[in-house]
Amino acid sequence: MIKQEQQNRVNSYFEAYARLLVGSSGRQREFLKNVPIIVSGAPPQAIHLLQFSKCVRASGNPVLWVHHSRDMPQLPQIGLVAHGGDQVYFIESCMLWMSPKEDRASLIPDSFEMGAFRFDDQLQLHHTPKAPARSFKAAEAAMARAYRKLHSIALEIEQHGAEASRLHQAVAA
């Protein structure tokens, strides 16, 4: 039972990432079908991310590598491999960033010098050369908003899944 609960929690976070990056519910399944999300116990290294370059170039779809550190498990780090123009970006650590006026989060490389990445309504990832914040301090409120939203969506999905499971069990009984 514990393994099933863990799997349900992982699935809820996959859906939560998808909904947060897409901006609404209803398209997360399509997002997850096209954008691989890798959950790892270790932070991504450039050599790991390089392995996805051929796939990213061929498909045009990015790869996200999510890592939860032991020091701060509630604040996942996100590696990104993305096709942009004639190049492929390999970024070991991005953070979620969300404006109070927006319905979706962006991915901001933690250096704040590589711009930002954001999915559009067609689920295409776009790169903007300028990050919406120039430092961690300037981005802190928008990052906290994005991570709170991520956890809120995941909890909602988990609770809905638990309710649906109980309902299914009641009907089966």
Give tens-digit pLDDT for 77-87. 899 999 887 88
Burial pattern 23-53, b for ≥16 Cβ within 10 A else e, equals beeebbeebbeebbbeeeeeebeeebbeebb
User: Model confidence at 165, in pLDDT bands (50, 70, 90)?
Assistant: very low
Q: Which has more confidence, 172 or 91?
A: 91
This prediction has a pTM of 0.85
List, for residues 6-38, the tens digit of each pLDDT value: 777 778 888 899 999 998 777 888 888 889 888
Q: Which has more confidence, 70 or 99?
A: 99
How many other β-carbons are positioned within 10 Å of the β-carbon of residue 111? 10
Number of domains observed in the structure of the chain: 1
Within 23-79, residue ranges assigned H as helices are 28-34, 46-50, 53-59
The residue range of the domain holding 71 is 2-172
